A and B are shown apart, each in its own frame.
Chain A
């Protein structure tokens, strides 16, 4: 097909604004999927995606549509919508020339939509604004159209109005897509350059790369090279995406499809990498490639220590399909053997945990998520620390840096005060704000990543009665006044409970953990002293007075069995306890302190 008749586009939308429904309608109208194979949210094929209504992996689908007598090839690239997958999103956007900005007419523009929209604009994509759900009574068509124009410029008349659910305006939308989105550039005659914008793993064929050809042709049987590794492969199959993968002889400039090339490991088919011909020494890589780096870390432990091996296998299998997941073995006094896993962000972490539990039947304990600190030592060198227990001797530390994010909060004006108080509480600083319309404001703040890891999003939602939305971008490392807080039980440190916290918060944190531990550790035959300490300085302390009485008054009428059984159970319970020095602490206490509250 001539590049003039190809259109590559994606859909930018907030959760529940109707992206999947619109995609379903487009597939129907273009007869891409036979009626009998049609179901709702046909593109989201992971159970987790369908359930949560989010897209985790990128998908692509090729549709054919006849307009004014000419046949067009339309490639819809469905991208994950979440910040954790920003990099994948940016690569998917790089594979497109246009984007539908889909906004719920009853809700308006949300923070997540904005950050992806700005990314699309940076990638020079033609934006086609679309209002969805105009069939709803609560639709505020004019107001929201006005709001979109304030963000995008242009006239409200340019904003298309559809109801994906009812099918209203979708045909017009298709025509407008073809009209407004420019055809891809590129030249079939030039040497091959293709972008990998995502990849999956097939246990029989290895990595399946999702590709967009920019120049030249990608043909079955040809030898290609991946620029980031320099490795050479033979192309075994290329093709396009329909409901299934459909093999073709070649993909030409401007086209979107897949490539199987005997790449055994998914980490070798890096998102963002450039495919060239094997003997090509001159071509430059396509811009924007970088290796993925985890931002958030958490220890994952099997609830039942015997399942460590199962967890290892499950993680290995998951990584086949998820190049961004990293993990290495870790042991904890309290939790036994497990893995310290690195994730792109909080959603990625949740998804991995949920997939491990759901697809591999594991029961997991996840420790409080943490970030990677950069410790600058007195000798000028620096080390990265992701587990507080491995922080170097404070005497050698010059200073500690932590990752910061730029957070965008879109909120009705009346909730700005409580939200700003929350930001301040979390060591954040206000940077700027932008009025979106008469009701809503975009506030941009700088926050330490560590401070938004636990329950920040929930707090934003509850402070604004659900109206505010929040998104963030990583903005770099900055020095912070951080200290390591240790917890000691009768003088012995408890490794699993050490944390790195900001100096201003260390007292509150110390007090809290010590008083919670007081309630969680059962009384012992002797006094137990729980301390929170920074270095050798104790900042909080509680004591548990010794147990004075635990006696069964009576063994009734020869019922020895009952008391023995109780003792047998207690003995089992005692075996599950962890000993810190002479103090025995139930495992549940650790779980309670370490578990992420969802």
Chain B
């Protein structure tokens, strides 16, 4: 079992808060890039011939800049070279870049799950984020999507936008929850190198306090769970059966192939990344050279760290059995302490973060990985 990710690093314009590699100022995807994606995936296929892919995820950037025939062609190509058996096929969609025709074209191409970059349904919040769409476009797209009963619909929402209030967040969530079966709610992060980062540093933008963020996050959790969603990962909620297969694979240390500039892959204990500049990527593919720019073979200790940090994020949590041998003797005391403080919950054979614990996920992961047994013990 594996996942297949395709990266489309192009956007109409760069959002103020976005710290990831993508090229703004594009209203379509360069042909050369699509050709390179196809060629690179063809080249990688032999390595993955024994894998069954349960998910394909077209992410970005803005993948909805792909015309429907381009997406159909790409998916067709992937289907011919990889074993995509009943795969979950997701495309990230930006409401500013899609009309009903393209949308229906995507569905005909085989897409069975869309992830809509709603972010907010309040005009001034979208303007603050420098998103290109408005609330009306987002609502229209949500409505079209909900017309298709076979389609899984997810929306991305941002918590902690300066100016966001309990009321405005409630409004956004109330509307969105009528149309979706999956929600990803991320707290606005301030990444170095973004315009937002500079504006925060320069005092132009005042961010909500940690306490405000904590309150908004709790509110989000309450509102979503009222609609019988399950909080199955720190930032993700789903109706039962609508959890993202693709993301669950990441969180369970599964194997995946990433195609495209800057895409990450994980195969046989090896993680690798492709060059992130798209032109370099195209040149490398065309000249028959490898697109891999970073690769590492994980040590047992690194694998253990990943297992802890990823498992902690999900509602499955860590298996109690893992504590036998994986951690040193201080770890049990730490666990008792965390349970006592209501940050960790013991549920059957599993240990998982409580809602307040999820907000401290990094801190708790840091404490737990500090108590991992020494590498010698891990090997034994």
Show the binding face of A for B, using Cβ within 8 Å.
525-526, 547-561, 563-564, 567-568, 570-571, 574-575
A556 to B235, CA, bound (A): 12
12 A-B pairs (CB sep. < 8 Å): A550-B363, A551-B358, A555-B250, A556-B20, A557-B59, A557-B258, A558-B266, A561-B271, A567-B362, A568-B369, A570-B362, A571-B366
Interface centre among B258, B296, B370 (most CB of A within 10 A): B370
Does B282 sit within 8 A of A, measured CB to CB?
Answer: no
Inter-chain contacts of A555 with B (CB < 8 A): 250-251, 310, 313
Number of interface residues of B (CB under 8 A): 51
Cβ–Cβ contact A557 & B5, under 8 A: yes
For residue B273, CB closer than 8 A to chain A, the reply is: yes
Closest 10 pairs between A and B when the two form their complex, measured CB to CB: A553-B186, A558-B264, A550-B363, A550-B362, A551-B361, A549-B359, A570-B366, A549-B210, A548-B214, A553-B187
Cβ contacts under 8 Å, B217 to chain A: 549
Bound together, the chains give a CA A560 to CA B5 distance in angstroms of: 14
| Residues of B256-302 contacting chain A, CB below 8 A | 256, 258, 262-266, 271, 273, 294, 296, 302
| Of A555, A556, A570, most B-chain CB atoms within 10 Å | A555
The answer to whether A549 and B250 touch (CB under 8 A), given A560-B306, A561-B296, A564-B306, is no
Residue pair A561, B273 in contact (C-beta under 8 Å): yes
B258 touches A558 (CB 8 A): yes
A551 surroundings in chain B (CB, below 8 A): 187, 234, 358-362
> Can you list, as one digit per residue, whether each of B291-333 has a CB less than 8 Å from chain A (1) or not (0)?
0001010000010011001100100000000000000000000
Q: When the two chains form the complex, which single residue of A550, A556, A557, A574 contacts B360, counting CB atoms closer than 8 Å?
A: A550
* A548 and B258 in contact, given A558-B266, A561-B273 (Cβ under 8 angstroms): no
| Chain B residue nearest to A573 in the complex (CB) | B366
Q: Which of B187, B263, B309 contacts A563 (CB 8 A)?
A: B309
CA distance A548 to B266 in the complex (A): 33
Confirm or deny: B341 has a beta carbon within 8 angstroms of a beta carbon on chain A.
yes
Chain A min CB distance to B292 (Å): 13
A395 CB to nearest B CB, Å: 37
Query: Which single member of A526, A548, A564 contacts B359 (CB below 8 Å)?
Result: A548
Query: How distant is the Cα of A497 from the Cα of B294 in the complex, in angstroms?
Result: 46
> Which residues of chain A are within 8 angstroms of B341 by Cβ–Cβ distance?
525-526
- Given known A-B contacts A549-B213, A553-B187, A575-B370, A560 and B363 have beta carbons under 8 A apart: no
* New A-B pairs, 18, CB < 8 Å, besides A553-B235, A564-B306, A571-B369: A525-B338, A525-B363, A548-B360, A550-B361, A550-B363, A551-B234, A553-B234, A554-B184, A554-B235, A558-B5, A558-B264, A560-B306, A561-B264, A561-B296, A564-B305, A570-B366, A571-B366, A574-B366
Q: What is the CA–CA distance of A269 and B369 in the complex, to the nearest angstrom? A: 58
**Docked CA distance A124–B367 (Å):** 71
Answer whether residue B211 sits at the interface, using C-beta atoms and an 8 A cutoff.
yes
Does B84 sit within 8 A of A, measured CB to CB? no
CA distance A568 to B362 in the complex (A): 12
- Which single residue of chain A is at the shortest CB-CB distance from B359? A549
Q: In the complex, what's the smallest C-beta–C-beta distance from B297 to chain A, in angstroms? A: 12
- Chain B residues with Cβ under 8 A from A563's Cβ? 309
Report B-chain residues with C-beta under 8 Å of the C-beta of A560: 250, 264, 266, 271, 306, 310
Indicate if the CB atoms of B363 and A567 lie closer than 8 Å.
no
By a CB distance below 8 angstroms, the chain B residues around A558 are 3, 5, 250, 256, 258, 263-266
Q: Which of A526, A561, A575 has the most CB of B within 10 A?
A: A561
Chain B CB within 10 Å, residue with most, of A558, A559, A567:
A558
Bits for B181-203, please: 1 = Cβ < 8 Å to A, else 0: 00010110100000000000000
Interface contact B309-A567, CB-CB below 8 Å:
yes
Query: B7, B294, B302, B313: which contacts A557 (Cβ < 8 A)?
Result: B7
Complex Cα distance A542/B365, Å?
28
Given contact pairs A561-B264, A574-B370, A548 touches B362 in the complex (Cβ within 8 A): no
- Chain A residues closer than 8 Å to B250, beta-carbon distance: 555, 558, 560
Contact with A along B228-261 (1 / 0, CB 8 A): 0000001100000000000000110000101000
Q: Residue of B at shortest CB range from A551?
A: B361
Residue-by-residue, is B201-231 near A (CB-CB < 8 Å gives 1, otherwise 0)?
Answer: 0000000001101100100000000000000
A525, chain B: closest CB distance, angstroms: 6
Chain A residue numbers with a CB within 8 Å of B338 are: 525
Cα separation A561 to B217 with both chains bound (whole Å): 26
Tell which of B7, B235, B264, B356 has the most Cβ of chain A within 10 Å: B264
CA distance A564 to B213 in the complex (A): 25
Report Cα–Cα, A532/B197, bound state, in Å: 38
Q: Which residues of A contact B363 (CB under 8 A)?
A: 525, 547, 550
Chain A contacts of B273 at CB under 8 A? Answer: 559, 561
- Which residues of B have CB within 8 Å of A571? 305, 366, 369-370
Minimum CB distance partner of B3 in chain A: A558
Q: Kindly provide the distance from the CB of B140 to the nearest chain A CB, expressed in whole angstroms.
A: 26
Residue contact B265 to A547, C-beta cutoff 8 Å: no
| Complex CA–CA separation, A526 to B273 (angstroms) | 39
B343 part of interface (Cβ distance < 8 Å): yes
- When the two chains form their complex, are residues B359 and A550 in contact, meaning their CB atoms are under 8 A apart? yes
Smallest distance from the beta carbon of B41 to chain A beta carbons, Å? 16
Q: A547 — which chain B residues lie within 8 A by C-beta?
A: 360, 363
Residue of A nearest to B361 (CB): A551
Inside 8 A of B358's CB, which chain A residues have their CB? 551
Could you tell me the distance between the alpha carbons of A559 and B366 in the complex, rounded to whole angstroms?
18
Task: Determine if A553 and B359 form an interchain contact, defined as CB atoms under 8 angstroms apart.
Answer: no
